[in-house]
Structure 1
Amino acid sequence: MGGNGKFSRWKISFHRAPSAAKKEPPQEFLCPISNSLMFDPAIVSSGQTFERACVDICRDLKFAPTLSDGSKPDFSTVIPNLALKKAILGWCSKTGSGHPSPPDNSEIESTIRSLSGSGGTLESPKIRVSEKELLKGVTETPPILLSHAATELNSRDLNLSSSSEESVIANSTPLLPFATRPSCFSYSSSPSTSSEFVAEEGSRNTASINSSSEDENFITKMRSLDVYEQEQAVIQLRKKTRTSEEARAALCSERLLLALKQLLNSRYTALQTNAAAAMVNLSLEKGNKVKIVRAGMVPPLIDILKSGYEESREHAAGAIFSLALEDDNKTAIGVLGALPPLLHELRSGTRRSRHDSALALYHLTLVQSNRAKVIRLGAAAALLGLLKDRDLAARVVLTVCNLAACDEGRAALLDVNAVDCLVGLLRNRAEFSSESTRENCVAALHSLSDRSLRFKGLARDTGAAEVLMDVVKADSERAREKARRILEGLRGPETAEDGEVDWEAVMKGGVTQARHRVGKSSNRNSTEF
């Protein structure tokens, strides 16, 4: 009886404990700038993660804050941190905390301006305004030249990141379409008549959509025998779907996609380019992704990658990347033959098309069937070679990690000396200082080491132990943990039982000496590997 009573009291205490105090979120869930739970976390080139809106505003104001460790972040490349976003939402659900809300851009700008110490007088033409003012401003903006996929509202630095990547990321916040990219570019690679017409039509896209009549109007014009009328129709479609999620959802009908598909095959430069850009915009809506693939839009996009105009290829790569984000599309896109032209574009395209091709390949190789295809195409050596390109390394290493996760990929990568390449990147800290890139290099090595005696010999030849010890001392926690596991694997099964790893021995004499040193107490013979 007494035992039952004690157990009952324990149960009451157990159920009440969680409500005693509200749990504070882990520090890594908070943006270092806004100090708020991140709604849309994004990794920057220097490896830190921030709220995307904070990054965008810092870039617009040309300001890089000094972090607590004295370093300044590099905002040149921004990639969504989907894993952290999932972890934040999981933590919120588990603790009963409310999910993070979209950030207030005006508050963030005020915070950043106060950090910059400028008193709000930074020399920058890119002044942020509220969402309502921004929407209202669309109808008041003077003509601008627009020629890239999900075109935006103001000018920006073309050297920052790929436009279609940003378009996909921006679409992850449907309630606030401008929350992650409120300022935009006026990039134009070819001042054509059609591009100028885009500008003239740009101020008319804020009206609400009557889906059936709008859809029919576009279809009629796109099927016209007059090429000029086709051009104007596809330009209007591109403008209509640039920022309006409602337009993207309402206009993405089977009949409109079929009409647009014919224009993707056009040999008129402006017609093909604007059709491909409209295709990117339509693909941003999550509900459209599977519909677009099932409508047969991937083959003409692949044809553009193979033989289209330069700017059209940029849009085609961006569209395939956007469509590849949907799990149900990954296998189909690979079966339709997108992998070879994506690999070719990755090696020979423009900066924008290479970035989007790299990200498309990463998402596609999350599926085993596509990994096998990429390996059979002999892409392992090419991907390792591209890791030496600072501009592409952060994206390409993601695909290398995917390939290293399967037996066939491990064998192919080891055949082309991936260990030497990855260890070289880690050794050259000054050249490849991005924390995320280094972390992914370690992750790839960790996958390559899985049950592989061959890896041990290659690691010994490249001096991997010394480099991994540097990782253990100076890199992120995840990189340190994987580096420790690799080092323990290098030491072999004889010393794994002894429990503690002698890191100093590894540093001074390499893996072999460390094994001899620990083996003395157990009277076992150490063997070279």
Structure 2
Amino acid sequence: MGNRRSKWRFSLHRSSPTTPKTQNPQSPPEEFVCPISGSLMGDPVIVASGQTFERSCIQACKNLGFTPTLPNGSKPDLASSLMIPNIAIKATIQNWCDSHSVEWPKSIEGGEAEKLVRGLMGSDDEEEKGLGLGLGLGLGFEVSEKELLESVKNTPPGKFVHAATELNRRTTSHFYSSSSEESVVSTIPDTPLPLATRPCCYSSSSSSSLSSEIETLLLNPNLLSEEEEEMIVKLKSSQVFEQEEGVISLRKITKSKEELRVSICTPRLLSAVRSLLISRYLTVQVNAVAAVVNLSLEKSNKVKIVRLGIVPVLIDLLKGGFPESQEHAAGALFSLALDDENKTAIGVLGALPPLLHMLRSESKGARNDSALALYHLSLDSSNRTKLLKLGSIPTLLTLAKTGDLASRALLILCNLAACSEGRAAMLDSNAVECFVGMLREIELGSDANAMRENCISALYALSQGSLRFKGLAKDAGAVEVLRKVMERLSNRARDKTMKMLEMMRSPTEREGHQQEWENIVGSILGSGVMNWNHNKGDGGANSSGF
């Protein structure tokens, strides 16, 4: 603590931007001096833990995710956004300045405060610096996109320069074998397609062997907390064969021993793995990112991994990693996006463009995981706006009409249709004609039923609050198609279909052909459906509250 404490003791003459030309030899009382800047406080504020700091200095600490250690060894509470102006101490400082012929101190500018804080951060070890990004995410105060991006810029993930040859290159595909995905029904209404909760690259089988030393360490949680340094030393070794041994062992243990994933997912271990994600050696890079996928499967690890700055490296892997690394990176981002706290941050950090690009990947697993990542990220309103600005609608409509991503592309489009800007962009891109055409061509089968109902959901979303929908739907022949597919739909989808058909009828048709309309609906659904027609007054033709 001695070295760190001395760094806090800036002299007033050296640090203060408000030092007068004629400095009084008497030093100010310690409580008048900001522990961060070492100068008289011009705008003192009290934080939640009771200490007083210069406002701009404490704000810089928050922006950079840095918690300083004070001269007495304590740390201020920066998790709360609370900063109360200390009017009493400010007035006392000004009185002291008047009595000692010293100019009143002025507030330190943000740039100068940030420079001071960065100087203090320079004395911390690598693991502590790695926490900078995460302290702003979900710990009680809001972080802007600019602040998130600034934090990432200060710890760049590095560039990939793949070596022409790899030392001890191994085939790694056997560590993950394909298997059926563990699935649950989506929690979002109107999306009947079951959504996977684990990336395609994950399976429960593994055939690689562990070194006895690491196996003993990882299989014994009690030893893990005491001997973690030994594992980290192996991962941080300058010898590539030791790095390989470490990441392969970590990959297997995080796959086969689910109960250990939380206990071994420490900041120090993640920091060591993070440095190997940009390795030039295929075996090291692939196994490192695969281990991240395994760790991300535990809910309590998801936010921690994002906070420790792993996402920017995963994004770089999508852009320029080895093909197998790209597949695992897409899977990791999908897994991390399942947590609501991560959705905004992942979008802010720039994951959306490379994920969209990966929809064209040669790897089926990478395509599927990228699509599922985009689906979960598009549940966030800010990410929907970003996807619209990226011009994603035409690409997604093309994928919805053809290829193995049709169902997933439809789900993303349903999310984008939840906002007015998304509906307008989809109408401009002939989405109505596209969805009606898909309904006309969809055949029988369980997957076809899910596709059909997702098309109905997308059409219904487009019909809400849009004066253009009626004309576009009629031009596309929607009335005939909707009547034809209605008998194959679930009750919920039927309700939507009938409301769309009702909306597309003209006022004349409603007044003069009511009985004919009831006969048409009755012929499809039976006489019992008349209760719907007589009891729909509470919602109206365009109501979405059902």
TM-score (norm: length of structure 2): 0.57
Residue by residue over 1:289-332, the C-alpha shift from the partner in whole angstroms, topping out at 9 and shown as x without a partner, is 01100000000000000111111011000000000000000000
Identity of aligned residues (%): 52
1:502 aligns with 2:514: no
2:173 corresponds to: 147
What one-letter code is carried by the residue in structure 1 that aligns with 2:428? Answer: D
What one-letter code is carried by the residue in structure 2 that aligns with 1:371? Answer: R
Residue by residue over 1:80-118, the C-alpha shift from the partner in whole angstroms, topping out at 9 and shown as x without a partner, is xxxxxxxxxxxxxxxxxxxxxxxxxxxxxxxxxxxxxxx
The CA distance in 1 between the partners of 2:507 and 2:210, in whole Å, is: 66
Cα pair distance change 1:156/1:294, threshold 3 Å: closer
1:240 aligns with 2:268: no
1:452 aligns with 2:466: yes
1:365 aligns with 2:391: no
Cα pair distance change 1:207/1:505, threshold 3 Å: closer
Secondary structure of the residue aligned to 1:502 is helix
2:410 corresponds to: 397
Cα pair distance change 1:256/1:362, threshold 3 Å: same
Task: Identify the match of residue 487 of structure 2 among 466, 473, 496.
Answer: 473
1:252 aligns with 2:265: yes
**Equivalent pair of 1:471/1:479 in contact (CA under 8 Å):** no
2:315 corresponds to: 302
Cα pair distance change 1:322/1:494, threshold 3 Å: farther
1:411 aligns with 2:424: yes
* Superposition deviation, residue 495 in structure 1: 5.7
Cα pair distance change 1:370/1:201, threshold 3 Å: farther
1:520 corresponds to: none
What one-letter code is carried by the residue in structure 2 that aligns with 1:439? Answer: E
Task: Identify the match of residue 169 of structure 1 among 162, 174, 197.
Answer: 197
**Equivalent pair of 1:218/1:237 in contact (CA under 8 Å):** no
What one-letter code is carried by the residue in structure 1 that aligns with 2:470? Answer: K
* Superposition deviation, residue 471 in structure 1: 2.4
Task: Identify the match of residue 240 of structure 2 among 227, 244, 248.
Answer: 227
2:67 corresponds to: none
Residues paired across the two proteins, number: 341
The CA distance in 1 between the partners of 2:358 and 2:250, in whole Å, is: 27
Bigger Rg, which one: 2
What one-letter code is carried by the residue in structure 2 that aligns with 1:147? Answer: S
**Equivalent pair of 2:235/2:247 in contact (CA under 8 Å):** yes
Matches within 5 A, 1:56-455: 147=173, 151=176, 169=197, 207-209=219-221, 210-430=223-443, 433-455=447-469
What one-letter code is carried by the residue in structure 2 that aligns with 1:169? Answer: T
The CA distance in 1 between the partners of 2:239 and 2:217, in whole Å, is: 24
**Equivalent pair of 2:208/2:252 in contact (CA under 8 Å):** no
Cα pair distance change 1:466/1:219, threshold 3 Å: same
1:29 corresponds to: none
**Equivalent pair of 1:156/1:185 in contact (CA under 8 Å):** no
Instruction: Extract unaligned runs of 5+ from structure 2.
Output: 1-169, 187-193, 524-546
The CA distance in 2 between the partners of 1:291 and 1:478, in whole Å, is: 39
What one-letter code is carried by the residue in structure 1 that aligns with 2:230? Answer: N
1:14 corresponds to: none
Secondary structure of the residue aligned to 1:265 is coil
**Equivalent pair of 1:197/1:232 in contact (CA under 8 Å):** no
**Equivalent pair of 1:241/1:248 in contact (CA under 8 Å):** yes
**Equivalent pair of 1:168/1:322 in contact (CA under 8 Å):** no
**Equivalent pair of 1:304/1:312 in contact (CA under 8 Å):** yes
* Superposition deviation, residue 438 in structure 1: 1.3
2:498 corresponds to: 484
Secondary structure of the residue aligned to 1:225 is coil
2:528 corresponds to: none
The CA distance in 2 between the partners of 1:205 and 1:408, in whole Å, is: 54
The CA distance in 1 between the partners of 2:397 and 2:195, in whole Å, is: 28
What one-letter code is carried by the residue in structure 2 that aligns with 1:318? Answer: G
* Superposition deviation, residue 207 in structure 1: 2.9
* Superposition deviation, residue 148 in structure 1: 7.0
Secondary structure of the residue aligned to 1:266 is coil
**Equivalent pair of 1:202/1:239 in contact (CA under 8 Å):** no
* Superposition deviation, residue 241 in structure 1: 0.6
The CA distance in 2 between the partners of 1:244 and 1:167, in whole Å, is: 24
Secondary structure of the residue aligned to 1:410 is helix
The CA distance in 2 between the partners of 1:320 and 1:267, in whole Å, is: 21
Secondary structure of the residue aligned to 1:424 is helix
1:133 corresponds to: none
The CA distance in 1 between the partners of 2:465 and 2:368, in whole Å, is: 33
The CA distance in 2 between the partners of 1:182 and 1:290, in whole Å, is: 20
Residue by residue over 1:212-257, the C-alpha shift from the partner in whole angstroms, topping out at 9 and shown as x without a partner, is 2453222111111111111110111111110323211011111111
What one-letter code is carried by the residue in structure 2 that aligns with 1:484? Answer: M
Question: Bigger CA drift: 204-213 or 285-294?
Answer: 204-213
Instruction: Extract unaligned runs of 5+ from structure 1.
Output: 1-143, 172-180, 187-194, 509-529
The CA distance in 1 between the partners of 2:322 and 2:481, in whole Å, is: 44
The CA distance in 2 between the partners of 1:443 and 1:494, in whole Å, is: 27
CA RMSD of aligned residues (A): 3.5
Residue by residue over 1:462-494, the C-alpha shift from the partner in whole angstroms, topping out at 9 and shown as x without a partner, is 101111112222222222111111111111566
Question: Bigger CA drift: 473-482 or 395-404?
Answer: 473-482
Residue by residue over 1:425-474, the C-alpha shift from the partner in whole angstroms, topping out at 9 and shown as x without a partner, is 11112288522221111000000011212111111111011111122222
What one-letter code is carried by the residue in structure 1 that aligns with 2:173? Answer: S
Cα pair distance change 1:266/1:503, threshold 3 Å: farther
TM-score (norm: length of structure 1): 0.58
What one-letter code is carried by the residue in structure 1 that aligns with 2:296? Answer: S
Cα pair distance change 1:205/1:412, threshold 3 Å: farther
Residue by residue over 1:35-78, the C-alpha shift from the partner in whole angstroms, topping out at 9 and shown as x without a partner, is xxxxxxxxxxxxxxxxxxxxxxxxxxxxxxxxxxxxxxxxxxxx
The CA distance in 1 between the partners of 2:202 and 2:330, in whole Å, is: 23
Residue by residue over 1:10-51, the C-alpha shift from the partner in whole angstroms, topping out at 9 and shown as x without a partner, is xxxxxxxxxxxxxxxxxxxxxxxxxxxxxxxxxxxxxxxxxx
Poorly superposed stretches of 4+, deviation over 4 Å: 160-163, 165-168, 181-186, 195-206, 492-501, 503-508
